[in-house]
Structure 1
Amino acid sequence: MEAESRAAVDYSAVVRLSGDPGELRAEVGEVLSAEPRLVVFELSELTAFSREDLDALRDTAGTSEAVFACREGGVARRVLEEEGVAVADTASAALAFEDESLRPSGERFRSLTEMLLAAGSVGEVLQVIVDATASLVPSAELVSITLRAPDGNFHTAAYTDSAAAELDLLQYKLGEGPCHDAAVPGRPEFLECPDLSLDERWARWSPTVAGLGWRAVLATALADDAVSRFSGALNLYSRVPGGLAEADRDVVLLLASHATLAVAETDAVTRAELHQAQLRRALDSRDVIGQAKGIIMARRGLDAEEAFDLLRRTSQQLNVKLVHLAGTLAARHVELDGEPDPV
């Protein structure tokens, strides 16, 4: 289980559940002890779900308004639909269920400020900002923050979903794209594209990303002219052509300013630690994929490239992130011996 909002203030919280929900109820209760106004239960990674589990989550939410998100084909989706519960495909879309103006009130920004003050590190601050962006700009299906180090290297410091980090990483590798360009000296305040399938500025990145289903992007520079040691960008992605056209630019700019101040006040050691944490996460993902490849190679007699291709195709067919599929196979391969392969 991963909670994406931690501070005890009147704000929305996103709780991602994985595995068996019955084993996680106590942890969920602890996370929601702050009684957020709205809680989104993201259920895409659950392996089991029942009417009783639904009732238990609602009870656990207490006075908080509970809404639900689950990808198509997820085990919880069928139960939610059978019970007539409104369900969104993603947590970001579920946050849009709130019956409010898309332009946030002063109260919501005051709550955001309290959350930022409560954060214990720059990493927590940046995570609060991307989560807040997803809440305050519901049309943004993915949100991330790019940082550019003094040596010119890029990394993604916070994100709402690993898919955002993957879209960012492709820009760093190709040396082009909105968040890459917004994070370099001389960048404009905003870089945006309403439809990447028609874009010609980023000749390699845009068609690749459009082919993955992402069509609109908005990147806002993190920049303080008085602080030249860093730069970066707040990045928003949407699957809908023109999907970010109505995003409030003042709100996005204010959120980017919060990120700018957070990083500007961070010393070099903390920034290096933040980067190392991101590298460790990437290496952990690479390791688990490597383990899964080795298992498939041994069981199927395939070479490394064939094993990875099988993993990738199975991930797409099941609509499960490749690293999650690999993790399940690596963790449970002993149980699966003698059973049909999951891939």
Structure 2
Amino acid sequence: MTDIRTVDVGDEYQVFMGAGAMDRLADFVRPDRRVLVIQQQGRDDLAQQARDVIEAAGGQPHLAIVPDAEAAKTVSVLAELWSQMGQAAFTRDDLVVGLGGGATTDLAGFAAAGWLRGVDLVQIPTSMLGIVDAAVGGKTGINTPEGKNLVGAFYPPQGVLCDPAWMTTQSQADYVAGLAEVIKAGFIADPVILDLIEADFAAAVDPNAEVAVELMARAVQVKATVVAADLKESNLREILNYGHTFAHAIELSENYTWRHGDAVAVGMIFAAELGLALGRTSAEIVGRLRTILTKVGLPTVYRDGDWDKLRTAMARDKKSRGNMLRFVVLDDLAKPARAEGPSEDDLLHAYKTVS
């Protein structure tokens, strides 16, 4: 076990990053403990590594293969996981492991939260998006026809394990999409992230580059700090949703065929332009955001003609209160704040800038 970098998420749990991170799974296994490994389709290699670690520690591995991406986050897939746990006689002393991208870890977390009102959970994210966003923070959930992540629970894991080498198997498009959450972390809390990306855009999009681990660790630290202060999104944690209100509307409109990071990139432009219209965000910040997103290959526009559908979807956003929409905007770099009840004219103006 070498080169492990650790980030504390308050006093709750730790994120272990680096080569050999999978070996840490043994710390959560004891003799005869049942362990359900919920594996994203196509990650047989890592699932076998997990099985080997579990067996070496004396545990009893069980494997559940789930569909790729958002297709995993459905009621039917969740019910099948609970059925498998019931057939294997899982008790409150047993363990669930989520192994895959962000959708898989979201699903695994909700499966663990719901079984017997909660069993231990370890997340093993294998994508940039999963590492810097979905697996850290304890948000779990599935999608419904009415919206993304409308059903779920706040359920922190016992630990998160990630090895940057796993990201090299991602497609370039998927890796770059994950960078959207890293860039978000730079704008809301850690501008050094932006400096690192701007210093070498080619390196920023290369999972083999030395800067990849630094970007990942900084983004995880941002989320860990926020989550430790506000687990259940009562106040501060809302800043992590910068760009997500419009992003989730895009994802629903596109039946979840858009990559989450791509939608977040467009959503951040929407939020930045809204902040500019409200006199809250400077033109300099908006311009810098557009430039960075464009240089790394992320989208900044969405097709025109769907405003009514998108507006309806945004009304279902988790930050909304009653009929009032609430957005995260930037009053300055690393100074996110809430904008409540923007006018329909300002919302439409922001939409026009991204359409």
Give the TM-score of the pair, scaled to structure 1: 0.29
More RCO (CA 8 Å, sep 6+): 2
Query: TM-score scaled by structure 2?
Result: 0.28
